[in-house]
Amino acid sequence: MAGREIGFIGLGIMGRPMARNLMKAGYSLTVYDVVGPAVEEIATDGATAASSSKEVAEKAPVVITMVPDSADSEAAILGPNGVLEGASKGSVVIDMSSIAPGTSQKIAAGCEAQGVDFLDAPVSGGEPGAVAGTLAIMVGGKKAVFDRHLDLLNAVGGSIVLCGDYGAGNTTKLANQIIVAANIAAVGEALVLAKKAGLDPNVVFNAIKGGLAGSTVLNAKAPMMIAGDFKPGFRIRLHQKDLHNAILTGKELGVPLPVTSLIQQMIGSLMNAGKGDADHSAIATFLEDMAGTKISGQ
């Protein structure tokens, strides 16, 4: 079982509610983010503010990182004023960022060289899951370390699975993101077809959600498409990053990813259109533009 002193680095759209859930579960948090107001917000809720990742690790034996991409994780953990500069032998780093599996393995090696335990533990569930504390957590690392910190992970997650050794959590997350992206694109394509055929997309959604096409993605994203509401729970730019990591990993392993590559091209077009900060359900707008119709239109 983990101790009650926890460091938390990365207070973005996911990190803030995760930090709050840890405090609700009785953990004492020391927090840091490169964005000052985010630190102030969580400090107001009862956390202790730190001025660097190094300072977080000096104050807490268990440090969680929740940052955007591989380079951010490397900088926060391995870089100057990073976690390893402040960590002691026997400390634990749990990187809950969604990054390239090879980067997780590099960070793990850096941690092991200093006698620091490591888990890569990316999450799925978006902002709603982070707020509710029901995230799916995919973990890579040593079983003994995983077992000791399961209570901690349960404070932010609803499903926690040890998937294998270092990098396995992020490989599993890439598989998750491929399926989510393909689901969103398929839902958008189907609803555009239904709308252009003169049907009410909401009726179509209600008709199909109880059948084989039903999915968590359909239930979460179809109503957003129907309402034309793309307020971000998970931003397009972050899904672009995940699919990029999937394609690179596929190249390294000799695994073609044709569907992933196609959706990545759609997302690239949306990024060029200035939609990178929209929810990833806005993949549907690429399909709307191709068809000259809007799912949410009259």
Residues 61-85 pLDDT 10s: 999 999 999 999 999 999 999 999 9
Interatomic CA distance for residues 87 and 54, integer angstroms: 7
Arithmetic mean of pLDDT over the chain: 96
- Render the burial of 14-26: b for 16+ CB within 10 Å, e for the rest: bbbbbbbbbbeee
Question: What SS3 class is residue 48?
Answer: strand
Q: Does the pLDDT value for residue 1 go beyond 90? A: no
d(CA 178, CA 89): 37
Q: pLDDT, tens digit, for every residue of 264-286?
A: 999 999 999 999 999 999 999 99
Question: In the numeric block, which tokens belong to residue 15?
Answer: 């990190």
Tell me the residue type at 230: F
The model's pTM is 0.91
Query: Hey, what domains does the chain have and what are their CATH numbers?
Result: 5-166 (3.40.50.720), 172-291 (1.10.1040.10)
DSSP-H helix ranges across the chain: 15-24, 36-44, 53-59, 70-78, 83-86, 101-113, 126-132, 143-148, 150-154, 168-196, 201-208, 216-227, 236-253, 258-272, 283-291
The pLDDT value given to residue 45: 95
At residue 183, the pLDDT reads: 98
Which distant-in-sequence residues (6+ apart) come within 8 Å of 80 by Cβ? none
User: What is the arithmetic mean of pLDDT over 115-133?
Assistant: 95
CA distances (Å), origin 127, targets 52, 281, 284: 25, 13, 20
Phi and psi at 294, nearest 5°, equal: -115, 135
Active site residue 173: yes
pLDDT band at 50 (very low <50, low <70, confident <90, very high): very high
Phi, psi at 150, each rounded to 5°: -65, -40
Residue 2 pLDDT exceeds 70:
no
User: In this predicted model, what pLDDT tens digit does every residue of 161-179 receive, in sequence order?
Assistant: 999 999 999 999 999 999 9
The Cα–Cα gap between 51 and 53 comes to 7
Q: What's the CA gap between 191 and 204, in Å, rounded?
A: 8
Phi then psi dihedrals of residue 91, to 5 deg:
-70, 165
| Catalytic residue (choose from 173, 221, 241, 275) | 173
For residue 221, CA distances in Å to 62, 226, 289 come to 35, 9, 18
Which of helix, strand or coil describes residue 178?
Answer: helix
Distance separating alpha carbons of residues 256 and 118, to the nearest angstrom: 30
How far is residue 105 from each of residues 38, 67, 100, 120, 149, measured CA to CA in Å? 29, 17, 9, 9, 19
